[in-house]
Structure 1
Amino acid sequence: MPTIRKRGQHQWEAQVRRRGYPAQSKTFTTKAEAEAWAGMIESEMSRGVWVSRSEAEATTLYEALKRYEEEVSLSKKGAAQESSVLKNCKAIDLAKRPLATIRSADIAKLRDEWLKNYKPATVLRRLAVLSHVFNIARKEWGMESLSNPVELVRKPQPNNARTRRIAASNAPVGTPVGDEPESERGAQNGELERVVKASSSTLLPPIIWLAVETAMRRGEIVSLLWVHVDLNRCVVHLPSTKNGDARDVPLSSRAVAVLQALKDAREDANDAANEDDEDDVDRVFKIRSDAVTRAFERAVARARKIYVDDCKTAKLKPDGKFLTDLRFHDLRHEATSRLASIFPMHELTKITGHKDPRMLMRYYHPRAEDLAKRLT
């Protein structure tokens, strides 16, 4: 039988002792709550389904997020991006509460608050991290009694899929640098050419051309090593990618020209410094991923301003869509759509690194006029 005793004027302590189980005790403000809790614990022990709730009741969400970041997140490829999500989750009021007290209604309220200021895809990423924290606590941190309140909450439907195509020169994929035909659409062509011209970075232009020619991710490009570049075979090897699999990426003639120019400049710099070029594991681009994004955003903004000024000088109305809403990841979309006109789906997945063709379709956005040409 459980023991219920009064402690002070406004507290009741319930104790449950049963052979084979550690003694359990908890304090409540009313005798009824103490009796209900003791009855539940004793019933679970009798049925052999009792598990300790003490750790889940003593660990706050903030503490769980911090432990998750140290033990789980740091080993992930996207640790830097997830660190930002964890930082935001630590700042919410719910982080002060013990894990055991957080219910699905709390998560639903948090979801609705986030949706007021963030896109559904952002909210989905945050909810996914929270869900994983609860699952890890339950499966690996000895909190078997803990339920995952995120699993019971309706997830927002992402509506921010990108379909942005880039207005570029009429040169097909594989055209060597400098051999592009002159545009037939005037200012409406050559978004990337204008961005490259407006960039003040020496690394950004080759990164842009390599991205739009190969469909490689930003992180894959900046982590590329010279030892994995084979210009004779026109292939670069990616030993570690976002989905965990290695892959070989074929290089177009334009991509080869970009890398060859970088390699020649590297060798000339080593010769000028009287150094032996023995360090074959040097990174091709010594720049961080976030720096690439910032440089690209600045170049796009400058290119847009120059374009608007050119239109004013020519007394033309600027196109509101030209050089606006352009992101670096759009280069991967553009490259995939261009490569899809050359390779069948099963070969394209090997180039882009998509395991699921359905995910690949999110990156493939053919122009209607290009499809119409196939019908003639």
Structure 2
Amino acid sequence: MSTKRMRPSGTWEYIIRRKGILPKPLSLTFDTEEEGDAYVKRLEQMLDAGILPEDLVARRSDLVSIDDAIRSYMTEVSLPSSDASLLNALIDRWNGQVLTGVDYQWAGVKSMKRKDVMAPSTIRHYVGALARCFDWVVRSGTPSLATNPLRLLPKRYATYTDEDSAAVRAQDKKPKEGVHRDRRLWVDEEKAVRRILAGEKPEKRQRGPDLNFRPAMEFLFELGIESAMRMREMYTLDVDQVDVGRRTVFLDKTKNGSKRQVPLTTVAIQSFENYMKAVKDGDPEMSGFEFDGGRLFPWRDGCRDRKVLAGVSVRLSGQFGRIFAAAGCGDVTFHDLRHEATSRLYEKTSLSDVQIAKITGHSDTKVLMRYSNLRGSDLAVRLW
């Protein structure tokens, strides 16, 4: 017998049970009730006759749905926090949908555009995390998924087609466009940001932004623009991860899960030493913080819980957003400093793409190229 229910998303979930044929209840999801009724009716007729459909034969010993695969993957594989967060959001989205229903024509990407109206970059993040999960499923030998169909998606799969855009507009919504982030700090803007971080009052304003732990804010800005590290990689650092003699920072926790050493410029080293001196000398602007527990920055208490760190990232991003606004460059984000630092590695050094990727932590040089936003004016002076 089977049961059915409409999920909050509007899809229909069917649970089919057959002792002796199905080792456990089979959950299927359909876009419409009519489609589900028709499929389940045919399936039940075959099951009543003792016949297990061919597409379910491989699942006799191990019936696996997308959410089953995600849970197993997250249990058995050590994941970076970014992937874990994305996959947690996807578990309920495809609850009960069988892996055998995932193929090249799979509608999962289409629904992200037409139903959820996600930005192309967001779609790529979700699909990337799920593709890595499916890679593991394939390697594990689960017969339900012999190959990873997400690896067959065409280029620009996340870009809205005319049909996607029409479907979104029919809901009185606006299709999302891919945004290539290429904002860089101009020299005058960088000087203005440093003046604000030094405690100067912004022009035409009665007061500046809140600069709680100002020396730490100042050092974080310098480290970001000089090292190309991600914000979370920096504010979760311990003091002993910085090796002044070798001019390196050792990162044991990164977004993609790999460890790496980041070389530091002389500017970054000087900023580090100035900050260390401020804390050790009892600078009143760092009141309440010491290098207890080995922490380099004051914004976390040693906890590495993803939700806690996400809250810290949001608060710091907002605080720097106000600093940039006070400096007259309010469209700059803290993450743009990573773009800026990466671009400077191309402009000021002769390092190769592979060497720069080792510094920035990019596993794909195609992604790296999106970060290296070289100014046309700087390139022009190199021409004849």
Same fold (TM over 0.5): yes
Find 1:38's aligned residue among 48, 51, 62.
51
Mapped to 1, the partners of 2:113 and 2:340 lie a distance apart of 34
Asked if 1:299 corresponds to 2:311, the answer is no
Equivalent in the alignment of 1:68: 73
Q: 1:246-268 CA deviation, whole Å, 9 max, x = no partner?
A: 3241322x322221122223433
Asked if 1:329 corresponds to 2:345, the answer is no
Question: How do 1:19-34 residues align onto structure 2 when only pairs under 5 Å count?
Answer: 29=41, 33=46
Mapped to 2, the partners of 1:129 and 1:349 lie a distance apart of 20
Asked if 1:251 corresponds to 2:265, the answer is yes
Q: Say if 1:231 and 1:199 are closer, same or farther in 2 by CA, change over 3 A.
A: farther
Q: 1:336-357 CA deviation, whole Å, 9 max, x = no partner?
A: 2223222103254454344655
Equivalent in the alignment of 1:366: 374
CA contact (8 A) 1:206 1:258 kept: yes
Letter paired with 2:368: L
CA contact (8 A) 2:23 2:60 kept: no
Equivalent in the alignment of 2:281: 268
Equivalent in the alignment of 1:55: 62
Mapped to 1, the partners of 2:350 and 2:137 lie a distance apart of 44
Mapped to 2, the partners of 1:39 and 1:232 lie a distance apart of 67
Larger radius of gyration: 1
Q: Secondary structure of the equivalent of 2:178?
A: coil
Question: Where in structure 1 are there 5+ consecutive unaligned residues?
Answer: 1-10, 17-21, 45-49, 170-187, 271-276, 308-321
Mapped to 1, the partners of 2:318 and 2:46 lie a distance apart of 59
Q: 1:253-295 CA deviation, whole Å, 9 max, x = no partner?
A: x32222112222343359xxxxxx998x813224355424422
Q: 1:298-328 CA deviation, whole Å, 9 max, x = no partner?
A: 3323552x46xxxxxxxxxxxxxx5233222
Question: How do 1:77-96 residues align onto structure 2 when only pairs under 5 Å count?
Answer: 78-79=80-81, 81-92=82-93, 94-96=94-96
Equivalent in the alignment of 2:37: none
Letter paired with 1:295: L
Equivalent in the alignment of 2:119: 119
Identity within the alignment, %: 26
Mapped to 2, the partners of 1:282 and 1:14 lie a distance apart of 58
Give the Å deviation of 1:241.
Answer: 4.6
Q: How many residues align?
A: 304
Mapped to 1, the partners of 2:260 and 2:333 lie a distance apart of 26
Mapped to 2, the partners of 1:365 and 1:207 lie a distance apart of 22
Equivalent in the alignment of 2:130: 130
Q: Say if 1:353 and 1:23 are closer, same or farther in 2 by CA, change over 3 A.
A: closer
Letter paired with 2:95: A
Q: What is the RMSD computed on CA atoms of the aligned residues? A: 4.3
Q: Secondary structure of the equivalent of 1:62?
A: helix
Question: Where in structure 2 are there 5+ consecutive unaligned residues?
Answer: 1-15, 27-39, 160-176, 200-208, 284-289, 301-308
Mapped to 1, the partners of 2:367 and 2:195 lie a distance apart of 30
CA contact (8 A) 2:67 2:96 kept: yes
CA contact (8 A) 1:212 1:335 kept: yes
Give the Å deviation of 1:332.
Answer: 1.3
Mapped to 2, the partners of 1:233 and 1:293 lie a distance apart of 32
Mapped to 2, the partners of 1:63 and 1:235 lie a distance apart of 42
Mapped to 2, the partners of 1:337 and 1:23 lie a distance apart of 56
Q: Secondary structure of the equivalent of 1:156?
A: coil
Q: Say if 1:193 and 1:143 are closer, same or farther in 2 by CA, change over 3 A.
A: same
Mapped to 1, the partners of 2:243 and 2:100 lie a distance apart of 55
Asked if 1:156 corresponds to 2:162, the answer is no
CA contact (8 A) 1:228 1:236 kept: yes
